[in-house]
Amino acid sequence: MTFLRLRALGALSIVAAALLVSGCGGSKPAVDPEPAAEPPVETTAEPPVVEEVPTERDEQPVYVDPNVEYADVFRPIHFEFNKYRITDEAKPILEGIASLLGDHPKWKVLIEGHCDERGTNEYNLALGENRALSTRRYLVSLGISEGRFQTVSYGEERPVAFGHDEESWARNRRAEFRVEAPGA
Q: Hey, where are the domains in the chain?
A: 66-176
CATH entry 3.30.1330.40 includes domain 66-176: no
- Distance in angstroms (rounded) separating the CA atoms of residues 70 and 65: 7
Q: What is the pLDDT of residue 180?
A: 87
pLDDT tens for each residue of 148-175:
999 999 999 999 999 999 999 999 999 9
Its pTM stands at: 0.65
Strand partners, 178: 110
Whether 4 has a pLDDT exceeding 50, the answer reads no
pLDDT tens for each residue of 91-130:
999 999 999 999 989 999 999 999 999 999 999 999 999 9
Q: What is the DSSP string of the chain?
A: -HHHHHHHHHHHHHHHHHHHHHH-S-PPPPPPSSPPPPPPPP--SPPPPPPPPPPPP-PPP-EE-TTTTSTTTS--EE--TT--PPPTTTHHHHHHHHHHHHH-TT-EEEEEEE--S-S-HHHHHHHHHHHHHHHHHHHHHTT--GGGEEEEEEETSS-S---SSHHHHHHHSEEEEEEE-TT-
Whether 32 has a pLDDT exceeding 80, the answer reads no
Binned at pLDDT 50, 70 and 90, residue 69 comes out as confident
